[in-house]
Amino acid sequence: MPQPTLSYARALALLAVVVLAWGFNWPVTKTIVREMSPLWSTTARAAIATIALAVLLWWRGEFIIPKRGDVPVVLSTSLLHMTAYSALVAAGIQYLPAGRAIVLGYTTPIWVTLGARVFLGEAISLGRAIGAGLGLAGLLLIFSPASLDWHDKAAMIGSGIITLAAICWAANIVYVRAHRWISTPFQLVFWQLLLSTLVLAGTAMLVDGMPHVARTPRLVALLSFSGLICTALAHWAMLVVNRSLPAVTTSLGLLATPAIGILCGVAFLGEAFDPSLSMALVLIAGGIATGILSDRPRSR
């Protein structure tokens, strides 16, 4: 039986929760990878979230075996977003500064706009076009050639890898929007994370070998926060949002995540904040507001 979607206002509120969780997760992840490899840190985060969701689902009596109609969305979200996006970002971030990597990773609206038009038939209205243009102008300002040497081979490799990650995430957003739901996102996110954990663990074993980590209280706390809040809660919420808002609106809203991540990096990690970032954040915020307001009447 298809599950109801949220009201426009509640979907936007849930999207804000996702943005804050994923924005805070970037400085948290940067701190974690100083003590363990990116692939193993992603695996640990997914494993913590998987265990937490299994316990919660069992306690609530909502633990299910996915039905045949659930399999496509389980595979799409697990492999394209939770696994491919996370693994590709972990690989690409080795070649780029973290602040600029997060911005490039959120070029998703470019690919979502094209995918939603081609596969979902969503019109590219004037408001959406202006919103996407403003948001992407902000991204380009942060990641402009003046700030990054595009003749640097390592930087180009990292940029290509993270762009591929953004394309994978966009493909997932477009598919989830079109999916005909049977089970709820909350019931399926456990299976998505379980599959992602297994794939990530196998990849980490092949690439990095067995992990050697000092289990300090700080590392445990950071992994727990990243796994429970930034992974379990955020991925479930993202599935609900994808079903409740137009794909382009969702991707525009997610443009706030790099802004939150950059600000958190400045506040908690002491990263540099140059004037171009201020202008970029204004453009991104303007793009988000324009895109969301242009979609609001249609959602009603």
Residues 123 and 170: beta-carbon distance below 8 Å: no
The residues, ordered by sequence, that sit 6+ positions from 44 with a Cβ below 8 Å of its Cβ are 36, 223, 227
pLDDT of residue 299: 43
The residue among 220 and 96 whose pLDDT is bigger is 220
Grade residue 71 by pLDDT with cuts at 50, 70 and 90: very high
pLDDT of residue 296: 60
Mean pLDDT for the stretch of residues 216-231: 92
Q: Which residues of 253-269 are buried (b: 16+ CB within 10 A; e: fewer)?
A: bbbbbbbbbbbbbeeee
Grade residue 295 by pLDDT with cuts at 50, 70 and 90: low
In the chain, where are the structural domains located?
Answer: 8-299
Out of 61-70, 117-126, 139-148, pick the least confident: 139-148
**Considering the entire predicted model, what is its pTM?**
0.79
pLDDT of residue 273: 72
Residues 52 and 227: beta-carbon distance below 8 Å: yes
Nearest to 106 by CA among 87, 125, 120, 85: 85
Give the separation between CA 263 and CA 164, rounded to whole angstroms: 25
Q: Which residues of 165-176 are buried (b: 16+ CB within 10 A; e: fewer)?
A: bbbbbbbbbbbb
> Using one digit for the tens of pLDDT, what is the confidence trace for 26-52?
788 878 888 888 889 889 999 999 998
> Using one digit for the tens of pLDDT, what is the confidence trace for 261-273?
888 878 887 777 7
> Using one digit for the tens of pLDDT, what is the confidence trace for 125-135?
888 788 878 88
pLDDT of residue 274: 67
